[in-house]
A and B are shown apart, each in its own frame.
Chain A
């Protein structure tokens, strides 16, 4: 849930980044979203498309990398991918297995559009 308000937060972060880097806009936004992040990538995609409007991210592409839900089992001393409804070690069912991946909701990076440089002959009034 809350894909809309998350998009608003995301756009605020993107505006700040653009300002800091003196970029003219954003071409691509890279997110990492895990199954336990509390959001659905499809809904986030839709919310982003509908809310990017005239912002610095107008026309930007949202690229979402979905991360896997993985646990480390101390008994097996190994890592395993697990389904959302059962985080026990898939091999030995130990309940001490703990999550090492899958809760991420991260703005990983952005592709900024650099302002073009003016050549000395170009006049702009």
Chain B
């Protein structure tokens, strides 16, 4: 009921008494993130994942750095030891989900249309097609983009960021927010190093250190399998022990390590 005249209209902007508003201003503290809605969804997802004992990774990189190829190599090696599923994020096509499905692994394609990053709502919707009770590991391949995805919590336990040798060794300092969010950086396509005289692994590692501190860095070649062993060790270590660190920046609750 309108407080001003007792009529039954709600307090709408066009229903104002016919006099100048001269009420005083009063300040209310709010202290909420502008990402509050996404963060709340992500926190709920994280709780669901923890309850179901599913470890969730968010894989990010620029387009073409080799995320899908890395997933293919990873899933081929993990075989039946770990029950996996993949969420694929792309603006268009289901090409990546089809590649994963060809390996006999459940993959759900999230086609975002124009959205340049995945958000928690995308993940929530995609989970309708999966049974978390049948999974140990959920790999989310984000939209290829070094800018936006880092700012959107998906409920994941860790961020894995790929840097391909073909991109240059200065990308981490050029995209500090993204690389700062990494729990692991994989320098991919090391098999191409003989053809890339301008790329220095030492400079790339220093570039990563400047924005991501002591975050571990591994060198791999998804196409040939080189270095995949160390990546799988990191992965399986996370799966078996769970995560000690709390979730990504927006999360205020530490994730509970699955046993």
Binding site for B on A (CB under 8 A): 1-2, 6, 9-10, 13, 17, 19, 21-22, 24-25, 27-28, 31, 36-38, 54-56, 58, 84-88, 95-99, 103-118, 124-125
Contact = CB atoms under 8 A, between A and B. Distances in A.
B21 A25 contact: yes
Contact of A25 (B13, B29, B31): B13
B19 to A, nearest CB: 7
Contacts of A31: 34
B16 A111 contact: no
A109 B28 contact: yes
A97 B94 CA distance: 41
B235 to A, nearest CB: 24
Contact of A114 (B25, B32, B209, B210): B25
A41 to B, nearest CB: 12
B23 A86 contact: no
Contact of A17 (B21, B30, B116, B249): B30
A116 B23 contact: yes
Nearest to B35: A105
A24 B176 contact: no
Contacts of A112: 25-28
B213 A124 contact: no
B125 interface: no
Place the interface of chain B in its size category: 35 or more
9 contacts: A6-B34, A31-B34, A85-B176, A95-B209, A97-B213, A105-B35, A114-B23, A115-B23, A117-B23
B210 A86 contact: yes
A115 B151 CA distance: 38
A124 B214 contact: no
A114 B24 contact: yes
Contacts of B116: 1
Contact of B17 (A54, A87, A110, A124): A124
B36 interface: yes
B259 interface: no
Contacts of A86: 173, 210-211
Contact of A87 (B3, B28, B32, B210): B210
A114 to B, nearest CB: 4
A17 B177 contact: no
B3 A115 contact: yes
A98 to B, nearest CB: 7
B28 A95 contact: no
